Chain A
Amino acid sequence: MSHNDLDNASGHPDRDLVARDLVMTYGKGRSGGQSGPPALGGVDLIIRSGQSLAVMGPSGSGKTTLLHVLAGILRPTGGQVLWRGRDIARMSDRERTVLRRKDFGFVFQQGMLLPELPAIENVALPLMLDGTSRSQATARAATLFAPLGLSGFEKRRPGELSGGQAQRVAIARALVARPGVVFADEPTGALDQTTSGEVMRHLTELTAHTGASLVVVTHDENVAAWCHGVVRVRDGRVVEHSAQAAR
């Protein structure tokens, strides 16, 4: 994919996640009022289907805010986030909750697995919460353990897994509902370099295999090197947008 592809194309509204002129100002709603400096100051971005994008920038640059707005966690003060033809920013809280459950997957820095559930049930949980029967949810969850190198760890509790293993379980949980986009916020922030590389390999391979897009917020160049594209954010604006050959 070329630099121009990333920068200039308008994106396919049915397949891509498209952000247009995103503005986010904390302490100010769409109706106006007092505000601080914008956390996002007019961001345009296309995350193509099946592609991975790293969002980089110094602390306070707005990269996590950008991820939260793209994922429908935060409602932007201005602009649009288009997903499958609909503007996420205009959806109700309930609709955005359903969207996050069905269409998006999440991987956090610490895995955030439920300590009382074995690994297999942690992975099956999103499907069960969406009404899938337990046997179907568990069966589908089990298919993700071997590709992630977790065979034999199905019944282990999060407290009995290493950091890398727990993070791979979190990846399985993010992918089990076959989401369109996976959002990962510093997914390797708590891991050493070797484990970090392993987790990123699994994350990028599996998302590509399932056809999902991947957005990774990171400050680590080694992590960003696993993605098809890198967006650098400073003071709430995209200052660089480059394509690269992912590892």
Chain B
Amino acid sequence: MNAAVSLWWQLRRAAAADDRVPGVLAVVSFAVATAALLVCVAGLSAFEARNPVPPGHSTGLSIDEAMIGDLYVTLAWIATTCMVIPILTLGGVAARLAIARRDQRLAALRLAGATSAQVTVMTLAEAAAQALVGALTGVVLYLAVLPIVARLTFQGRTFDLSELVLPLGQTAAVVGAVVVVAIVSGASSLARVAISPLGVAARTSPKRLSILRVLVAAAAGAAWVLVITPMKEPERLTIVLVLGAVILAVNAVGPWVVMVAGRVAARIAPTAATLLAARRIADDPKSTWRAVGALGLAVVVVGFTSLAQVDDPGTPLEAYLSADLGTGALVTLVIITIVGATSTGVVQAARVLDQREQYRALALAGTGERSLHRARALEVALPLAMTIALSAGFVLVLMLPFLSRLDGGLVVRFVVTSAIAGAVVLASVLASRSLVRTASRVA
């Protein structure tokens, strides 16, 4: 164990600058995931602290205000549940990045006589170290954005910084959780990668994802309808648990839908760039979904909350609630967009590093840099456009019965906001343009 850790440290120090790029990408991912998670937890804590009706306590406030305070906490929990899964997914992406790009080095170590256990320790040490550096950077990032978060107005007032600064213990717990997620994700990735002395198997035809995923999603949808809908006043915990199950189910069925769409697109793709993009989507639908799935969900949340705003609030509390729903949805969308853009940017950059020899071969054979960029952009744009269009369409169709009461301005704002979020995620592909340029340099 000591020998493995010592060897890992020596190899780390000796790593070439080129080999450090995946490490930097992993650290950036862990940092963004940690910062986003801390902002979510801080927001939730602030709403709980503001809630005038702690469970089981009577209050002298009016029933309306007490109920609305409780509603804010429930909504904060729902928003946090929506955000936690993409944030954890980003943590998983970072951990896989820490593992995946080490296939050749691990195989070389096995050839040199390292045992499987030593290789595992070294790999997980790498993932844990990157997670710790990333998480600590994330804490700094969180503290840096707090003044901006504090300016958000909810319930008619902005936050005090003291409401949003988490106690040291909670902050340390979040940092610890990120490191644990990295180790668990890393160990699970490592288990899937056969680290033999001859390295990992070459890419073969991808296995189809099981249609069971669709059945699981249908069951979760049914649970939502059958469990939550009949309840007049469902417990907050019940809502959060069932919502979490629905989100997990959507995450299960999403990659299957993306896979089917990718296969259909590959069959009909008319150009080289579209064909490459479609094949990559069909090959790795899970990673494609990781980039776009959360955004689809956020579009649905933003759609319902922003379009359902009260036109003519009767009381100041209703006015607050109406405006705050829009603000909360927007904050959720912004955080998910940042997390999704980071995830997409990092996955795309890692893919270029993985395939730099193929990029060079294509360039040598006369493929222009523009074609390479177009294929990468399409790889993100196709599922992104599909997900956003389906999510936005879903919201607008469900809102059709209330068409006469809908504010046209709000509909336009919803569509524009969704498009901007999609554009930001798509723009994250641009971050790795210089890597493509370097990889495809022929001379």
Contacts and interface: CB of A to CB of B under 8 A. Distances in A.
A126 B358 contact: no
B283 interface: yes
Contacts of A125: 272, 275
Contacts of A116: 203, 276, 279-280, 283
A12 interface: no
A202 interface: no
A87 B362 CA distance: 23
B371 interface: yes
Contacts of B202: 115, 158-159
A108 B361 contact: yes
A101 B366 contact: yes
Contacts of A174: 365
A98 B279 contact: no
A128 B205 contact: no
A234 interface: no
A97 interface: yes
Interface in B216-238: none
A98 B366 contact: yes
Contacts of A225: none
Contact of A75 (B201, B357, B363, B443): B443
A173 B368 CA distance: 17
A157 B276 CA distance: 14
Interface in A55-111: 68, 71, 73-75, 94, 97-102, 104-106, 108, 110
A110 B64 CA distance: 72
Contacts of A128: 271-272, 275
Given A116-B203, A160-B205, A126 B443 contact: no
A20 B367 CA distance: 28
A129 B275 contact: no
A106 B272 contact: no
Interface in A125-162: 125-126, 128-129, 133-134, 156-160
Contacts of A114: 276, 355, 358, 362
18 contacts: A71-B364, A97-B368, A105-B365, A108-B361, A112-B358, A112-B361, A115-B203, A117-B276, A125-B272, A126-B365, A129-B371, A133-B270, A134-B269, A134-B271, A134-B275, A156-B205, A157-B203, A159-B202
Interface of B: 201-205, 269-272, 275-276, 279-280, 283, 355, 357-358, 360-368, 371, 442-443
